[in-house]
Structure 1
């Protein structure tokens, strides 16, 4: 084996090892009229929940989500800051399902389906 081929082989093997050995980070996104909820990875063991208000309609946007640390509990992150704003929350565990919601004034709230 030539020196050049050996170097290429080593680079490929090291690159594959880095990809296979790293923890996967999957961002979740959910949207409904007036609200977008999404996750961002803070670290290998922590995700941040984000909720953006996407409509100037005088209704609050919020996201519902579940974390691995308390999988049986549905958490809510409210954004009452107005159109064009985003609020975020992180508490030290991974998020495995989310959905975006919008508060309705005289009816049941509008929520997208759960995304995992």
Structure 2
């Protein structure tokens, strides 16, 4: 019985000591542009990848926890095949990806919450 208690105590300590992350990255695509958050394990960072070779920029529209009523936009104007990453801030709570279309409606993904 003593051995069982020792094993149980070691397993419990190992479970507490091993860091876990509930911040699973979520990606959405709108018109060839992909937005991902959390980025690199940071729930306060979002990225935009322009996978649409149409000459138009891509963007992520998003909301942060500390300013839930403020729509923010992260633009990727660097061109096809590039990624831009936001500065860190409070947790991104809702976002979508959009491919900007000059003189037409943008192609956007649905809104998602990471």
Under TM normalisation by the shorter chain, which class is it?
A: 0.7 to 0.9
Do residues 76 (structure 1) and 70 (structure 2) align? no
Asked whether the 8 Å contact 1:28–1:98 carries over to 2, the reply is: no
- Compute the TM-score of the two structures, normalised by the length of structure 1: 0.82
Equivalent pairs, count: 111
TM-score for the superposition, normalised by structure 2: 0.83
Q: Secondary structure at the match of 1:74?
A: strand
CA distance in 2, matches of 1:102, 1:49: 16
Counterparts in 2 of 1:1-116, with a 5 A limit?
Answer: 1-3=1-3, 5-18=4-17, 24-39=22-37, 40=39, 41-42=41-42, 46-116=43-113
Across the aligned residues of Structure 1 and Structure 2, the Cα RMSD in angstroms comes to 2.1
Taking the aligned partners of 1:113 and 1:105, their CA distance within structure 2 comes to 20
Q: Distance in 2 between matches of 1:101 and 1:10?
A: 50
Unaligned runs of 5+ residues in structure 1 are: none
Instruction: Compute the displacement of 1:11 (Å).
Output: 3.0
Gaps of 5+ in 2: none
Question: How far does residue 18 in structure 1 lie from its aligned partner after superposition?
Answer: 5.0
Any runs of at least 4 consecutive aligned residues in structure 1 with deviations exceeding 6 A, and if so which? Answer: none
Deviations along 1:31-69, one digit per CA (max 9) or x if unpaired, are 112200001233xxx521100001211111100111011
